[in-house]
Amino acid sequence: MENKLTKRKAVEKIVFSILGLLMLSSIAVLGVIIFFIFKRGLGVISWEFLTSMPKNGMTEGGILPAIVGSFYLVSGAILVATPLGVFAAIYMTEYAKKGKLIRIIRIGVNNLAGVPSVVFGLFGLSIFVKYLNFGVSILSGALTLAIVILPTIIRASEEALMSVPDEYRSSSLALGATKWQTIKNVVLPAALPGILTGCILGVGRVAGETAPIIFTAATFFSMRLPNSVFSEVMALPYNIYALVATGTFPQKQIPIAYGTAVVLLVLVLLINLVAIFMRIKFSKKNTN
Amino acid sequence: MSEIKMEVKNLDFYYDDFQALKNINIPLESNKVTALIGPSGCGKSTFLRTLNRMNDLIEGSRVEGEVLFDNENIYKENVDVVELRKRVGMVFQQPNPFPKSIFDNVAYGPRIHGLKDKDKLEEIVIESLKGAALYEEVKDRLDDSALGLSGGQQQRLCIARALAVKPEVLLMDEPASALDPVATAKIEDLIDELKNNYTIVIVTHSMQQAARVSDNTGFFLMGDLVEFDQTDKIFENPSDQRTEDYITGRFG
């Protein structure tokens, strides 16, 4: 009896230690990345680095155009993708008859999420840049990024809409509301926190996407801030790629790349924090 | 018999191939409470939902026969379902207020039907809350979330919400089954009060409740309406053996 018990306890202990260790190591990876990037990059961060133009072929100066460029690209992408994604999700959850068609659409959306982002880049190049003749521009880049996050937004919205209790719908309809009134006044407000969180996580994701903008929007070096949606722009992730892969003065440019990485990382973490904060705030508001 | 508000004639209802209601005939009297009793799955809730066409939402469902509402068949072509549901309100089994304020819950119906005037809205909200015997309990916190109310209060709020669109008929699908005895008693008193102004149809699992609140009772069994009569008659001297077996607790 006693022997069995000690053995059982020992097994428990070993299993828990292994699980704990695995958990720690996955957190540690994040920690190491952050530590390493900060260690190499924090040195170049200064107010001037964030707010001034690059100088001398991107070997000195700041990264303001890249910050501004990323801001434009991400905002554009969200502005386009949010209505498209949310309305697609509304159609799929509220209007479409459950059946083959909707299953095929859903598989399509999931596959869209699995397409490598460089392929989206090529697609953007051929459709937006060439065929629609938008050129390498904010417009082409934002549209391409919009397609990249579309599946994320559709799925998040769909999940949020499906988690709205059916009773809300039936009691609204029973009061004589039309379907659209019901969606607009009851279902959407109840699903909003989930939809917003999905969109913000989408922002976090596209802010770091490099491949889709290489051929569609990004330029390595720019002395000016963009002045229209048809301007080429610098962007944070592309800046890192370009400095490291094609820079001609590595000893000067690599630190700038790490500095850019710090900015990008902080930005993405901040965006995710906002998403978490909003989720907590909304879920409190809805339950009391 | 007093005036008939709704009359159901030869009603059949199908979920795909399954016939859930078989040749139902029931007159619903004005300003009376009609109770529908029967074991789970007997079709009483399905029947209730044919009266405001909530079953339209179920894919693969089909209705045959007539439901006359003020002598007009609500299943005839070109009937405005939105208008019908305005006139035939519904309260559900689970209290299900919207995640909005108490005021906005009650104002929901009038608002979607186009009422914008603030004073008028407030008047309707207060009147409806009073009608549902909830006003005194919530008058100081109309702007608080409805989800902070107790279950019984939430259910009365749902009744107020239904009253706010000024229906003529009120359908109640086991409105007290999720509530404790005290809250249940309040709902039953309220039903007694409401029948002065509304025609009420209530589905209930509790035979005592049917006996307490209703004037007429229909007993459903496996899609058939076994017996329909005055409540006293059903409970004291049923004419069908199956009714007697059910109300004396031999099955169900």
Residues of A in contact with B141 (CB under 8 A): none
Nearest residue in B to A186, CA atom: B98
> Which tens digit of pLDDT belongs to each residue from B148-187?
999 999 999 999 999 999 999 999 999 888 888 888 898 8
Contact assessment for residue A124 and residue A216, using Cβ atoms and an 8 Å cutoff: yes
Residues of B in contact with A181 (CB under 8 A): 112
Nearest residue in A to B100, CA atom: A286
Mutation site for A-interface testing, chosen from B53, B59, B82, B104 by largest number of A Cβ within 10 Å: B82
The pLDDT of residue B225 is above 90: yes
Using the beta-carbon criterion (under 8 Å), do A165 and B108 form an inter-chain contact? no
> In this predicted structure, what is the pLDDT of residue A284?
64
Residue A191 to chain B, least CA–CA distance (Å): 11
Residue A60 DSSP SS3: strand
Phi, then psi, of B219 in degrees rounded to 5: -110, 120
Residue A171 to chain B, least CA–CA distance (Å): 8
Q: Please, which residues bridge with residue B66 across strands?
A: B9
- Encoded tokens for A177: 């509301």
What distance in Å separates the CA atoms of residue B224 and residue B12, rounded to the nearest whole number?
10
Contact assessment for residue A196 and residue A271, using Cβ atoms and an 8 Å cutoff: no
DSSP string, B152-193: HHHHHHHHHHHHTT--SEEEEESTTTTS-HHHHHHHHHHHHH
The pLDDT of residue B194 is above 60: yes
> In this predicted structure, what is the pLDDT of residue A285?
58
> In this predicted structure, what is the pLDDT of residue A288?
42
Contact assessment for residue A151 and residue A110, using Cβ atoms and an 8 Å cutoff: yes
Phi, then psi, of B229 in degrees rounded to 5: -165, -175
Give the type of residue at B126. I
**Interface ipTM:** 0.88
What distance in Å separates the CA atoms of residue A85 and residue A108, rounded to the nearest whole number?
13
Residue B56: HSE in the Cβ half-sphere, 13 Å Cα cutoff: 17
Chains A–B, number of C-beta pairs less than 8 Å apart: 72
> In this predicted structure, what is the pLDDT of residue A15?
94
* Nearest Cβ partner for A97 among B59, B85, B112: B59
The pLDDT of residue B25 is above 90: yes
Contact assessment for residue A50 and residue A263, using Cβ atoms and an 8 Å cutoff: yes
What distance in Å separates the CA atoms of residue A88 and residue A157, rounded to the nearest whole number?
9
DSSP string, chain B: ---EEEEEEEEEEEETTEEEEEEEEEEEETT-EEEEE-STTSSHHHHHHHTTTGGGGSTTEEEEEEEEETTEETTSTT--HHHHHHHEEEE-SS----SSBHHHHHHHHHHHTT---HHHHHHHHHHHHHHTT-HHHHTT-TTSBGGGS-HHHHHHHHHHHHHTT--SEEEEESTTTTS-HHHHHHHHHHHHHHTTTSEEEEE-S-HHHHHHH-SEEEEEETTEEEEEEEHHHHHHS-SSHHHHHHHTTS--
A288 touches B at CB < 8 Å: yes
Using the beta-carbon criterion (under 8 Å), do B147 and A288 form an inter-chain contact? yes
Using the beta-carbon criterion (under 8 Å), do B112 and A288 form an inter-chain contact? no
Alpha carbon distance, N-terminus to C-terminus of chain B: 31
Using the beta-carbon criterion (under 8 Å), do A185 and B108 form an inter-chain contact? yes
> Which tens digit of pLDDT belongs to each residue from A227-237?
878 888 888 88
A75 touches B at CB < 8 Å: no
Using the beta-carbon criterion (under 8 Å), do B147 and A167 form an inter-chain contact? no
The pLDDT of residue B112 is above 60: yes
Segments of chain A scoring below 70 in pLDDT? 1-2, 283-288
What distance in Å separates the CA atoms of residue A62 and residue A57, rounded to the nearest whole number?
11
Write the CATH number of the domain with boundaries B4-247: 3.40.50.300
Using the beta-carbon criterion (under 8 Å), do A173 and B85 form an inter-chain contact? yes
Using the beta-carbon criterion (under 8 Å), do A167 and B165 form an inter-chain contact? no
Query: Which of A95, A72, A63 has its CA nearest to residue A145?
Result: A72
| pTM of the model as a whole | 0.81
Mutation site for A-interface testing, chosen from B50, B81, B98 by largest number of A Cβ within 10 Å: B98
Structural domains in chain A, CATH included, are 62-287 (1.10.3720.10)
Residue A176 to chain B, least CA–CA distance (Å): 4
Nearest residue in A to B96, CA atom: A167
Which long-range contacts (C-beta less than 8 Å, at least 24 apart) are formed by A36-41?
Answer: A37/A258, A37/A261, A37/A262, A37/A265, A38/A262, A40/A255, A40/A258, A41/A255, A41/A257, A41/A258, A41/A259, A41/A260, A41/A261, A41/A262
Nearest residue in A to B160, CA atom: A175
